[in-house]
């Protein structure tokens, strides 16, 4: 039975069907509002997230101590922490081999900051994306093994059998702290701590690598306390965990939500020199949010690994010198601007190619000669968002393609890519549910993508059209005041698997004006109470801008997210408009 469209919007101005709360969700929200005295709009949001009336108050104030798992529930954790502490006590030389993205850089910074607090240091090694590719390689691991007693691989290593074996044979211990999907056999490391090992139960599979590293430090501190030694302050490190969790698009559920919520509070104190410098150059003038982490800070930290020096981001995150931090932040900002230009060119070519191939298949993919490997993942994200299908984008160079993929909810891309590698269609490949990387011979490219499309189709990819717009409920403009917005924020933070609440406003009279080349600012109301302001960025790149600005006296249903707009010392409620339909 098809659910009735909310406000009868079967096809909005952007081509989406609106889906509102079910009758059961309405009843549960009413019951929650009566028993808790919370605003009904907030109760609708909580019910949408599966929160019961009995759990509502605890959900709004998540305590990390109640949600943080015992680190020893992860296999090899005890062995990894003990070896790490042995190296610290004995002043052995430690090397950290990290991935070149935000999760890898944050993971490395966590270890480096903790070690410095203990009066120790470590050698940081991050491979070059183009010359070395993802993860440990034999030459690098052998070189590190000759100079170090312990190598810790963070956000990589689970599939690196030969490189790790080459280090172990030189007498160096290797510990892996990762979250990428594991194979049936593990590399010959002393410990492989990974919630996505095949012999784990998957209950912590949503953790990013930085969270796995944080749990190692929790266990290390616990072992130190058992010896009467006070370890470094772990709560002060949660800004790095939050950054990695959001930037790696880990689901903001369970302990991830608590980690990010607390991490945002730590970041708001602006005590980490590198993040403070980066926030300033990104012109962040309000308290950090998940948006800040995902769209302002994260892309800049990533820029070094994408098109510049791979270690710039990690060095910034653990930087202790103000002048150096400002210089690193400025360089990353420049690289991010350059990255955007490269991305735009590749995106236009990839979208044209994907459209010519057809956008209704289970997999949307594109490949091009000379496409920069540092932007193919971002372009894959853009294709995924545009089509609501898993997407893979590959850059070809000398008969070899290096690509990246992004998936949609409910479709495990990493597992399918891993299977392709096992079947020999890929030179290598791996990842997790929502993202994956791969290397493929150009001669096998078409066959590999056909096979991947088939595997994804079996999981349900390609069975839906443009994504429905899911709404938490209906509001009147008079109800959308500052107190409600602040209360709704308590249900956050919002991000992957925990979208910000979206509300509809029915049959609004609209006054709109163009802002810049493509943006739209409007005022709307129902004629009975105060009016609200709204903003729609990029509206004139979609049907929203022309329809709303030329609507005359027509009334529109509006949908979007409520937020507080801080400007010139004033704070006002505004709607971040996402969609509209003629009433």
Per the CB < 8 A criterion, the answer to whether 384 and 435 are in contact is no
Instruction: Please compute, for residue 424, the number of CA atoms within 13 A of its CA located in the half-sphere on the CB side.
Output: 0
CB 376 within 8 A of CB 395: yes
| Mean pLDDT, rounded, for 112-128 | 97
Greatest distance between any 2 Cα atoms in the chain: 78
CB-based contacts of 552, cutoff 8 Å, min separation 6: none
pLDDT band, very low/low/confident/very high, at 118 (cuts 50, 70, 90): very high
Give residue 453's pLDDT band: very low, low, confident or very high (50, 70, 90): very high
Percent of the chain with pLDDT over 70: 99
Pick the more confident residue, 150 or 499.
150
pLDDT at 1: 47
Which domains occur in the chain, in start order? 6-20+471-582 (2.40.50.460), 21-58 (no CATH), 71-332 (3.90.1640.30), 358-457 (3.10.310.30)
Place of tokens 């309405």: 26
Mean pLDDT of 115-136: 94
The yes-or-no verdict on residue 3 having pLDDT over 80 is no
Q: What are phi and psi of 184, to 5 degrees?
A: -65, -30
> Mean pLDDT across the stretch 318-333?
97
Residue 467 in this model has a pLDDT that exceeds 90: no
**What is the side-by-side order of every strand in the sheet holding 191-193?**
123-125, 94-98, 150-154, 173-177, 191-193
Q: Which two tokens stand for residue 105?
A: 């850089």
The predicted model gives 143-158 an average pLDDT of 98
| Banded model confidence at residue 2, pLDDT cuts 50, 70, 90 | low
Calculate what percentage of the chain has a pLDDT beyond 90.
Answer: 87
> What is the per-residue pLDDT across 475-490, written as a single tens digit (0 to 9) for each?
999 999 999 999 999 9
Mean pLDDT of the chain: 94
Q: Report the distance separating Cα 487 and Cα 282, nearest Å.
A: 28
- pLDDT of 387 above 60: yes
Is 329 within 8 Å of 278 (Cβ atoms)? yes
Helix (H) or strand (E) holding 195: none
Confirm if 393 and 438 have CB atoms less than 8 A apart: no
Rounded to an integer, the average pLDDT of 177-203 is 96
Q: How confident is the model at residue 462 (pLDDT cuts 50, 70, 90)?
A: confident
CB atoms within 10 A of CB 519: 16
Paired strand residues for 266:
none
SS (H, E, C) 131-160: CCCCCCCHHHHHHHHHHCCEEEEECCCCCC
Residue 523, φ and ψ in degrees, nearest 5:
-120, 135
CA distance 186 to 176: 10
- Tokens encoding 10: 């079967």
Helix axes 102-117, 238-247, angle to 10 degrees: 170
Q: Is the pLDDT of residue 83 over 70?
A: yes
- Rounded Cα distance between 474 and 351, Å, is 35
- Residue 498 DSSP label: B
Is the model's pLDDT at 385 over the cut of 90? no
pLDDT at 525 over 50: yes
Copy the structure tokens of residue 297. 């800070």
């Amino acid at each position: 039975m098809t659910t009735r469209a909310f406000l009868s919007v079967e096809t909005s101005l952007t081509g989406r069907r609106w889906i509102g709360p079910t009758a059961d969700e309405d009843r549960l929200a009413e019951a929650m509002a009566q028993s808790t005295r919370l605003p009904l709009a907030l109760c609708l949001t909580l019910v949408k997230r599966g929160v019961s009336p009995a759990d509502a108050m605890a959900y709004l104030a998540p305590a990390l101590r109640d949600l943080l798992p015992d680190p020893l529930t992860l296999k090899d954790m005890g062995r990894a922490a003990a070896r790490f502490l042995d190296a610290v006590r004995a002043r052995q030389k430690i090397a950290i081999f990290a991935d070149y993205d935000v999760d890898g850089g944050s993971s490395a910074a966590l270890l480096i900051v903790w070690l410095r607090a203990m009066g120790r240091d470590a050698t940081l090694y991050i491979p070059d994306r183009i010359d070395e590719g993802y993860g440990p390689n034999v030459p690098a691991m052998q070189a590190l093994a000759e100079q170090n007693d312990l190598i810790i691989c963070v956000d990589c290593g689970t599939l690196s059998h030969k490189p790790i074996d080459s280090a172990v044979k030189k007498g160096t211990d290797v510990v892996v702290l990762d979250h990428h999907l594991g194979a049936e056999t593990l590399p010959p490391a002393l410990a492989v701590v990974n919630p996505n090992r095949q012999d784990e139960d998957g209950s912590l599979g949503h953790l990013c690598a930085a969270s796995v590293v944080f749990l190692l430090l929790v266990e290390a501190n616990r072992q130190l306390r058992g010896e009467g030694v006070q370890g470094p302050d772990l709560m002060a490190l949660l800004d790095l965990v939050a950054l990695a969790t959001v930037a790696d698009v880990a689901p903001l559920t369970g302990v991830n939500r608590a980690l990010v919520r607390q991490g945002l509070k730590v970041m708001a104190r602006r005590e980490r020199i590198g993040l403070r410098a980066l926030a300033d150059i990104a012109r962040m003038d309000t308290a950090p949010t998940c948006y800040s982490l995902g769209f302002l800070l994260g892309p800049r930290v990533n820029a070094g690994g994408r098109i510049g020096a791979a270690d710039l981001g990690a060095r910034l995150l653990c930087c202790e010198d103000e002048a150096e931090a400002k210089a690193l932040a400025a360089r990353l900002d420049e690289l991010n601007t350059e990255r955007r230009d490269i991305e735009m060119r590749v995106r236009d070519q990839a979208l044209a190619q994907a459209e010519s191939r057809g956008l209704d298949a289970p997999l949307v993919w594109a490949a091009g000669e000379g496409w920069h490997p540092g932007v193919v993942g971002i372009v894959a994200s853009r294709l995924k968002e545009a089509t609501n299908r898993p997407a893979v984008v590959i850059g070809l160079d000398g008969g070899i393609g290096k690509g990246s993929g992004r998936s949609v909810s409910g479709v495990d891309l990493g597992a399918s890519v891993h299977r392709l590698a096992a079947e020999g269609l890929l030179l290598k490949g791996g990842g997790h549910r929502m993202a994956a990387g791969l290397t493929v011979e150009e001669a096998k490219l078409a066959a590999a993508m056909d096979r991947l499309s088939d595997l994804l189709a079996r999981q349900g990819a390609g069975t839906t059209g443009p994504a429905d717009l899911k709404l938490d409920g209906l509001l009147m403009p008079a109800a959308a005041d500052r107190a409600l917005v602040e209360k709704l924020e308590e249900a956050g933070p919002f991000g992957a698997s925990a979208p910000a609440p979206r509300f509809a406003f029915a049959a609004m009279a609209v006054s709109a004006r163009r802002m810049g080349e493509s943006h739209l600012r409007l005022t709307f109301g129902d004629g009975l109470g105060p009016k609200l302001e709204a903003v729609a960025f990029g509206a004139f790149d979609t049907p929203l801008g022309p329809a709303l600005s030329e609507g005359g006296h027509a009334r529109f249903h509006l949908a979007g997210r409520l937020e507080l707009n801080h400007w010139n010392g004033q704070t006002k409620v505004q709607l971040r408009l996402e969609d509209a339909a003629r009433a």
